[in-house]
Structure 1
Amino acid sequence: MKRREFLKKAGVVAASGAFSPLMFARAQASTFRLEMVSSFPASLDIIYGGGEEIARVLDELTGGDVQITVYPAGAQVGGFEVYDAVSSGAFALGHSAAYYYVGRNPAHAFFTAVPFGLTAQQHNAWLMAGGAQELWNELNAQDNLIAFAAGNTGTQMGGWFRREINTPQDLRGLTMRIPGFGGEVMTRAGANVQNLPGGEIFLALDTGVIDATEWVGPYDDEILGLNQAAPFYYGPGWQEPSATLCLYVNLDTYNAFPPEIQEAFRTAAHAANELMLARYEAENGPALQRLVDSGTQLRTFSPEILTALRGHMDEVHDQNASGNEFYARTLESFTAFRDNIREWHRQAEYAFQNFIYDQSAQEEAGG
């Protein structure tokens, strides 16, 4: 949607000359009434609920001085139009996923999910303590935005398929909904990639417009009814070992806030980030069992497929880093952090979990 259309939706007169978005957000002294557009449908209560949680926490932290109305995808703007809507100042806030906007700069993907990249715990560490927030600020400032991590799905599933996928050759000619770098990888593997918002996926899969799709994981996928449109459910989610959602704030609006309000926004985003991951972790296990009980057939991608896809991801990185100085810097930061934290987790978490799962398998085998 064009800037003029966004501004019309926000009730801004385009010919009014210079203005601050805060002029339209502030209804009375010390009270800010703001609107947030979301990339997600309200039916997906956890992921859409991230925006609602931000609004709730801000209301409490500020004693009602910050009031936010949250709009689901399609109510004001389309799911993939959030970035432009907030950048233009038509809306002060957005809840979205940075990798939807790789068309502007492929480096946006680093701040949501990179195939074969970081888990939720690792990604949060990179964003909040590993220098990534400064890179993210630099990238978003080019479009008059600032963003904060505001939700995480945890490790996702690899997706729903109408037919079994056994070898890399089975990916050729497949039409699949998959965004971000995952889509680029699948394109290189020979698939025909589409990028559809959540509300449009079921119909496309059910009618055969697409042969496969990934979304999030068992809880959300069950809500969308994807198990009714395809029988085979593949893991692991190589394309999104975690996925960080974000709060976008118009930078002019954010800079005009007093420091205590800016801090409240950062705190609210962090609260939403933690709660979303906790809710997904609590809900995905029972949802997976319900899917299996209803006839879903679980499958695991073969090592041959995963190795081929990882090779294509290396090609994507090489191509994007060539001639894109910011991408190259971000990749360097991401890779160095990834390698360090993986070595630590190999010695600690992986060793512990490997023992636990091995013991569980032995106990199950022994009856």
Structure 2
Amino acid sequence: MDRRSFLKTSALGGSAAAASTLAAPVYAQGKRTLTMVTSWGRGLAGVFDAAVKTAENITAITDGQITVDVKAAGELVGAFEVFDAVTSGQADMYHAADYYFVNQHPGFAFFTGVPFGMTATELNNWYYHGNGMAMHDKLGEIFGLKSFLAGNTGTQAGGWFRKEVTGPEDFNGLKFRMPGLGGKALGYMGASVQNLPGAEVYQALASGALDGTEWIGPWADEKAGFQEITKFYYTAGFHEPAAGLSVATNREVFEGLTPAQQAAIEVSAGHANVWNLSQYLNNNGAALERLKAGGVKVLEFPDSVWDAFGAASEQVYAEFADDELFAEIFADYRASMAASSGWITDSISAYRTQRDRVLG
């Protein structure tokens, strides 16, 4: 029996047994502090803000009955150790990008961003009015987590490169930082893919340990200082057309809260999700203009590279096609994306094209 099967059998079976023997849930009484570990360096633009906003919301909505102690990456556990910290009970909750945990299950990628996947609007459609939230919960339950979206960076940039990309062959041997399924796709294109925490990327790029990196978008990238190292910036990427961030609470801890407190976590996460997306979109335009003024060359990948991205992405999806839960999430995700995209293209996209033409 593989690890996922074991976890699914033990976690779900144990929950069912407990439910049959308890007449009523027992909730912890009085004020309490929950420890939130994060994958973000303290003050890291946008992503750490989303964690703090979620925590502040929870405390405010519960009128101080729950206080959330937010830990930056490295203060209690490392950036990529937050998943294990919460599933083991070392911490109560984490805030992270769930695609950091595709080695636990590749389905986690859909709740951050996947190659040629959903925009932020489409992701929210699927999550709140389709089956997305239920599938996030189904996946989290296997690992003893109760998860909600709690942030979104919006469409992410293609990244920073030491030299211009002229064709797919330029990725062969390229040392590039990209997590999730997008990183796996670059691996199929011959890149040497690195998965580094955000707080470590600048030094790796500056030292030459990386030939290039993606991070988020103009505002966060400017804050990180990548323009000090290289001036070649690709503003459209294939890997994360939206990047959801998640808050995940240890399921036993979550079930020990009152229904009102549980709702406070869900509502706090939902507010942080919208607030954080607006934060990025509000700041990216001005930041991009500052980068241009500072000599950054804004570029687009040639069509041959986009075609290679597409072929490599399909190889990644085929790699996980035999995993039943991955296949279930993938099929539902793609169906929701197709259902949303037609109207968005015919209405919003067409309107914005005409607005930009008329207003100049």
Following the alignment from structure 1 to structure 2, what is the Cα–Cα distance between the partners of residues 45 and 306? 29
TM-superposed deviation, 1:304: 1.4
TM-superposed deviation, 1:355: 1.9
Q: Could you tell me which amino acid in structure 1 is paired with residue 96 of structure 2?
A: S
- TM-score normalised by structure 1 residue count: 0.89
Deviations 1:89-140 (A, max 9, x none): 1110110011000011111101110111100111011111110111111111
Q: Could you tell me which amino acid in structure 1 is paired with residue 324 of structure 2?
A: E
Greater alpha carbon shift after TM alignment, 50-59 vs 247-256:
50-59
Matched, 1:127 2:127: yes
Matched, 1:330 2:318: no
Equivalence for 1:350 = 349
Matches within 5 A, 1:82-93: 82-93=82-93
Equivalence for 1:5 = none
Query: Where does structure 2 lack aligned partners over 5 or more consecutive residues?
Result: 1-26
Report SS of the residue matched to 1:52. Answer: helix
TM-superposed deviation, 1:356: 2.5
TM-superposed deviation, 1:358: 3.8
Deviations 1:60-92 (A, max 9, x none): 111111111101111111111111111111110
Following the alignment from structure 2 to structure 1, what is the Cα–Cα distance between the partners of residues 191 and 332? 30
- TM-score normalised by structure 2 residue count: 0.90
Following the alignment from structure 2 to structure 1, what is the Cα–Cα distance between the partners of residues 115 and 88? 30
Equivalence for 1:8 = none
Following the alignment from structure 2 to structure 1, what is the Cα–Cα distance between the partners of residues 61 and 42? 24
TM-superposed deviation, 1:311: 1.4
Query: Where does structure 1 lack aligned partners over 5 or more consecutive residues?
Result: 1-24
Deviations 1:148-192 (A, max 9, x none): 000000011100001110111111111100000110110111111
Alignment RMSD, CA only?
A: 1.3
Equivalence for 1:270 = 270
Following the alignment from structure 1 to structure 2, what is the Cα–Cα distance between the partners of residues 340 and 146? 27
Matches within 5 A, 1:1-367: 29-321=29-321, 323-359=322-358, 363=360
Deviations 1:2-57 (A, max 9, x none): xxxxxxxxxxxxxxxxxxxxxxx96xx42121110110112313210111111211
The answer to whether the 8 Å contact 1:43/1:223 transfers is no
Report SS of the residue matched to 1:45. Answer: coil
TM-superposed deviation, 1:146: 1.1
TM-superposed deviation, 1:225: 0.8
Deviations 1:228-278 (A, max 9, x none): 111100120211101000001000000111100000110110111111011
Q: Could you tell me which amino acid in structure 1 is paired with residue 343 of structure 2?
A: W
The answer to whether the 8 Å contact 2:137/2:146 transfers is yes
Q: Could you tell me which amino acid in structure 2 is paired with residue 338 of structure 1?
A: M
Following the alignment from structure 1 to structure 2, what is the Cα–Cα distance between the partners of residues 358 and 105? 45
Following the alignment from structure 1 to structure 2, what is the Cα–Cα distance between the partners of residues 336 and 315? 19
Following the alignment from structure 2 to structure 1, what is the Cα–Cα distance between the partners of residues 43 and 56? 18
Identical amino acids, percent of aligned pairs: 36
Following the alignment from structure 1 to structure 2, what is the Cα–Cα distance between the partners of residues 355 and 171? 36
Deviations 1:325-344 (A, max 9, x none): 00111111011111111112
Following the alignment from structure 1 to structure 2, what is the Cα–Cα distance between the partners of residues 60 and 206? 41
Report SS of the residue matched to 2:46. Answer: helix
Following the alignment from structure 2 to structure 1, what is the Cα–Cα distance between the partners of residues 340 and 218? 28
